[in-house]
Structure 1
């Protein structure tokens, strides 16, 4: 096992870093210094600041996320799927001495064109911690990933989180609404509607009509819309993958989103294992760090 390394999750808006010694995290830092928020600083200046006092010339640093995009520090190519998990550590992009960016993944086929950055590292960790033929990775852009023990076979992206934000903040659905309040009952009602109705597009204006007519409390539109979108996503994607409820599914996300997706899956008869996103990320980085050391 490698004695020490630094792991960095460098996204569009935020940067998080962890310093490991002998398998134990001895320090962590974060900053609102994603690749779109450098504020005139170079990526190396931000990197030097976030790792100050942690590294010497022999300390490996592994970075994942948008730092490897065309808006980041250096482009790390996408590995085309099917992609062996072992190839993640074999095709790192060097940035500085002992500093690498983990590659993203891509799919290019007649009926699917997709990319991911950052989630591939969580996926590698999830494979060791909670293996399944299907991984669901909720977020702004939810990833649905098919994999076996050795290879990422395919994945698709559903823009549920972003669509929720756009509809609520920049469309007639959310126009003139008061501050939104959490409502489990509104979420459950939306979820039931989304799971059982294939026709999502006509339902979107009905959300607007429902709160205008007083059928939906104006402060609970956000949670109802969230349930509607998540329910429809889960129903659509489980049909797409022709999933049997007997097959294992692993959810990789924070507690709030995991709970929402688990509820949607349970309505369709699925029982999902839940894995914290940070735990999966750290396990994935550790696996790559050990492979690099060997």
Structure 2
């Protein structure tokens, strides 16, 4: 009989847990007890709470995400790239009896200093579900990852999601705006500008000037800004990763659609894999091996 195991995605602000028997998910739970929101509780106590009734002494737990960072339970050291995919699951950090954390990945060169934590688990799953030589992982900090079927060679990070949030909520660009609305037209207009003029710094204040002067509807600033930032990111990163590589987008559907639109405009085809599906496939591959 295939053993039970528990897979956990433990980030800064949220925690998600799945109980598996082989490849069958028996139950799942989620909590707002991310590693920065423990409210005085220990990680051990939070783990016991989220897995209550699931575990016996033989049930292994494999965790990924910020739980392995310097603000988490215990630092799970970064593996430097290039790194072979199987090595990710072979260098787990133990934190309690039959409880492990998956390592992050790092790049440290004169031309590139980068880290990831959590995305490496998504990469393991994306490699199974939609193998590619370039993985684009949109989100708060978008990762562009160069790989083949055997190993990860390099990656870069673009702070597109965070920059959009900061500009819209904590800068003059978004000051005084009403509630924002969805607008494919405003997004497409921003995307075109970002793709054609990816040097962003001179353009950011123009976003404010455009809505102050009436050239951009006040309710559509978020959409235009999203298109501008994603367009600039895609234009810049496609120059850094030129060629005809197969591209797999690992993200939620709505965000992946925006990046697919941008990639299509520069002549790059892409395949979409749900970020959740990729994460679960990746962590299951590690946890299943540990359990058996």
| Contact 1:142/1:158, CA 8 A, preserved across alignment | yes
* Alignment map for 1:65-76 (pairs within 5 Å): 65-76=65-76
1:273 to 238, 261, 271: 271
- Determine the structure 2 residue equivalent to 1:152: 152
Whether 2:256 is the aligned partner of 1:258: answer yes
* Alignment map for 1:143-222 (pairs within 5 Å): 143-222=143-222
What is the DSSP-based 3-state SS (H/G/I as helix, E as strand, rest coil) of the residue aligned with 1:243? coil
Whether 2:109 is the aligned partner of 1:133: answer no
1:22 deviates by 3.0
- How many residues are aligned here? 292
Which has the higher mean CA deviation after the structures are superposed, 212-221 or 14-23?
A: 14-23
- Determine the structure 2 residue equivalent to 1:227: 227
Distance 1:243 1:200 in 2: 24
* Residue ranges of structure 2 left out of the alignment (5+ in a row): none
Whether 2:46 is the aligned partner of 1:46: answer yes
Distance 1:107 1:10 in 2: 23
Which has the higher mean CA deviation after the structures are superposed, 222-231 or 22-31?
A: 22-31
Distance 2:46 2:254 in 1: 30
TM-score under structure 2 normalisation? Answer: 0.98
- Structure 1's consecutive aligned runs of 4 or more residues displaced over 3 angstroms after TM superposition are none
* Residue ranges of structure 1 left out of the alignment (5+ in a row): none
TM-score under structure 1 normalisation? Answer: 0.97
| Contact 2:5/2:288, CA 8 A, preserved across alignment | no
* Alignment map for 1:19-30 (pairs within 5 Å): 19-30=19-30
Distance 1:218 1:243 in 2: 39
RMSD: 1.1
Distance 1:2 1:228 in 2: 49
